[in-house]
Amino acid sequence: MSYLPYRRPPTPGLKIWLPPLLVTGFMWWLSANTISVREGVLATLLFFFPCYAYSRWQRERETRIPLFATLALAYWAAFAMPLFLATPPVDPQTDARFSEPAVYSVLEMAVLGVFALGIGMKVRFRPINPANLPDIAESPGAWRYLYCAMAFGILLGVNEDWPNALGPGARQFMMSLSNMVPVAICAMLATKQMEGTATRSQRYALGSFVVARIVTGIASGWLGPVVFMGLIIAFVYISKYGRLPVKTIAVIVPAFLFLQAGKMAFRSVYWSDTQTAGIFEKAAFWMGASFKEWDAVLTHRDVRGTQELFGESIDRVALLSLSTNVLVKTPRLVPYQNGKTYSYLAATLIPRIVWPEKPTVNDANRFYQVAYGVTDKDNLDGVSIAVGCLTESFINFGWWGVVPVMFLLGLLLGLLERTLLVEGAGLLFSGIGLALLSTLLPIESQAAQYLGGLIQQIAVVFIVVLPVTRRRKVVAGRVFPLPEAV
């Protein structure tokens, strides 16, 4: 048996620094903020991480998607991008601007945390062989069952009272039925569509669900379902073709910026004033409100208004100001918690239906909001603000906690990646892995909320699809690597 010579694609070398330098330079030129050189260097380094990780993933392709590159990009968007395009970090209690050394320290923490996260994700640890996991039975009856599960999830999402139909103990289960289950099935359908194996009914089901998800998401006042729907489709494309879906990104980003402008007007009418309307009427109102906002600033060439609209969009993912507030006040005003906020993580592993009085994951958020002056104690029921796992590690242990906590987080995420996001995982668990990205990418969630529901969500999806799963036949054999080219 002869082998074709295998040549590893060349390493990018110094060229990999070009995108970080260009992006940082452009935003620096665009920014109206005063930014020091050392802050700009750290911002460039934060953008270097996703660029390097994506380039390495393209050369090696060990997993279906570049998870670390995606997470590193999310940390860049949360810490570096607000440095240039958002308002400077201020104290939420006094509105006093934080000093440059404090902001620089937060950027240092972000660089250190992302690096530790990447090291943890590189550790080779996988107790479960993905090839031994069950998969979906390829039969018309099985897919009809999955279509019904998708439709039921959409109905649960439309009716706000239905998640509480089985009582507060089963709310998490019902929320998984309305979100995780249909999104996982959608990811499976999108995978079949990209691979060219989707039937006509599967294509119709995929298109119908995407449209329904977007309309119901807008009608409910949340942009998250719309954005993550597009991101999951983009990740399926990346897993198939190994490159960025430029057209999809060109649609998602402008749509997010456009809709962000009308969000507050929508919520003031349908949340604060509690007016009632149909799904399509709510969606049309949001679209109209966004159009009015953008038309006003663009028609009058209001540069400041345009910057404010962009700033509102960036503030949705920004953690720079919140994290600076934490570093300035810990431990001077708020003592280190020494792991106290992680106690809620252990409680989340037990379903509420078994432990009805268990602490809620929001308790960690509530402590942070009150202790650091972000929210008044009387307004906690209407506001939930988190600061992310990275900054939470500083709240608990200071600088000594950043590397260990982010390294352990990387270990867990690497385990999920090598179990669910590899070629051998099959259609079912690849779909679950892609759907979990809607939980993993919002890095502003603290540990109890970020990690607590992962096992439960995977279990709920598996239980729902269990009637149409089958065991896969694994052929024993050895895989011989191709020899290196001389």
Integer Cα distance of 356 and 203 in angstroms: 41
Contact assessment for residue 257 and residue 266, using Cβ atoms and an 8 Å cutoff? no
Q: What is the mean pLDDT of residues 160-183?
A: 68
Average pLDDT over residues 396-415: 93
What is the mean predicted confidence (pLDDT) over 12-38?
86
pLDDT of residue 6: 39
| Segments of 263-362 assigned E as strands | none
Instruction: Report helix, strand and coil shares of the chain as percent, to nearest 5.
Output: 70, 0, 30
Q: What is the CA radius of gyration of the chain?
A: 23
| Three-state secondary-structure class, residue 127 | coil
Over residues 183-216, the pLDDT tens digits come to: 899 899 998 888 888 889 989 988 888 888 877 7
The fraction of the chain above a pLDDT of 90, given in percent, is: 20
Least confident window among 209-223, 402-416, 424-438: 209-223
**More confidently predicted of 166 and 39:** 39
Look at residue 478 in the predicted model and tell me its pLDDT: 38
Average pLDDT of span 68-94:
89
Sign of torsion over alpha carbons 460, 428, 447, 220: negative
For residue 246, give both structure tokens.
């430029």
Residues 106/400, Cβ–Cβ less than 8 Å: no
Tallying the residues shown for the chain, one arrives at 486
pLDDT per position as a tens digit, 300-309: 555 555 555 5
Ranked by mean pLDDT, the top range of 53-67, 167-181, 346-360, 440-454 is 53-67
pLDDT for 225:
72
**Nearest in space to 147 (alpha carbons), one of 457, 464, 474, 484:** 464
Read off the amino acid at residue 202.
Answer: Q
d(CA 131, CA 134): 8
Residue 169 has pLDDT above 60, yes or no: no
- For the chain, the domains span 136-315
Alpha carbons 64 and 286: distance in angstroms, whole number: 36
Return the number of other C-beta atoms located less than 10 Å from residue 255's C-beta. Answer: 16
Could you read off the pLDDT of 228-248 as tens digits, one per residue? 788 888 888 888 888 877 777
- Check residue 480 and give its pLDDT: 36
- The answer to whether residues 466 and 253 touch, using CB atoms and an 8 Å cutoff, is no
Q: How far is CA 46 from the centre of its chain?
A: 17
Least confident of 156-165, 271-280, 305-314: 305-314
Residue 396 pLDDT class (50, 70, 90 cuts): very high
pLDDT above 70 coverage of the chain, percent = 77
Q: How far apart are CA 307 and CA 62, in angstroms?
A: 40
Whole-number mean pLDDT of the chain? 79
| pLDDT higher than threshold 60 for residue 482 | no
Q: Element (H or E) spanning 294, and its range? A: helix 279-299
